[in-house]
Amino acid sequence: MGDEPESPERRTWLLGALSGAVGTTLAAIVYPIVSFLWPRESTESGAMNVVAPFKANQLPDSGGHWPPPFDFGGKPCLVIKTPGGEIRAFNAVCTHTDCTVQFQPDKGQFLCACHNGIYDLNGFNVSGPPPRPLETYKVDFRPTGTPGEEEIIVSRT
């Protein structure tokens, strides 16, 4: 505390100690805040398969009322029947900007209304801006005893 100047080493050491302490404090503040901001685990669904809310024979052959997408692990899932009678399941999230596509049975295609993206019945992106095909799911049937009323089980491939 006298009039003599501090030695440079002492000054450097003090500055280092102060920066270290302040840095540690900042880390102890930032780390909990970043962890807090990270989504909690319960928001991520790990579901590997789901039973569709309708039976196989409830899908119309053409036109008529088509069941809307349903929840599969937090994403909308579309189950369709091709003109050939094959049942297919898709993740209805458009690969372009995450809108939900709609099935157009009369045109035999999926339309994304946001930017006019078109997918065919295999889920391939055939026109418009979508960069990739729709994600496809595996479809299985679980017999219920009555023919035609099988449950539709959609699972990730």
Partner 1 sequence: MSPAPENGPAETAGWKQRLWAYLSDRVGLDAMLALGVKKRVPIHRTTVFYFLGGMALFLFIVQIVSGVLLSLYYKPSPDQAFESVQAIMSEVKFGWLIRSVHSWGANLVIGVLFLHLLTTYMMRAYRRPREFTWVTGLLLLALFMALGFSGYLLPWNQLSYAATNVGTKLVGVVPVVGEYLLKIARGGENVTGDTLSRFYALHVAIFPLLALALMGAHLYLVQKQGMSVPPRVAESHGGEDKVPSMSFVPDFLLRDAVGWYLALGILAALAALFPWELGEKADPFASTEIGTKPEWYFLFMFQLLKQLPGTIMDLEWLEGEMVGVLFFGAVGSIVLLVPFLDRGDRSRRALNFFAGVSVIFFIVMTAWGWFDELPLQIILGTSLLLAVLALADRFLQRGTPSRRALGVAAALTVLVLIAAIIRELTR
CB atoms within 10 A of CB 50: 19
Decide whether 43 or 146 has the Cβ nearer to partner 1: 43
The pair of three-digit structure tokens given for residue 29, joined into one six-digit string: 């503040």
Side by side, the strands of the sheet bearing 125-127 are: 102-104, 109-112, 117-119, 125-127
Window of 36-44, 81-89, 105-113, 144-152 that interacts with partner 1 by CB under 8 A: 36-44
Of 103, 100, 132, whose CA–CA distance to 115 is shortest?
Answer: 100
**36 near partner 1, rule: CB under 8 A:** yes
**42 near partner 1, rule: CB under 8 A:** yes
Where in 78-107 is the site for partner 1 (CB under 8 A)? Answer: none
Q: Which residues bind partner 1 (CB under 8 A)?
A: 25, 28, 32-33, 35-38, 40-42
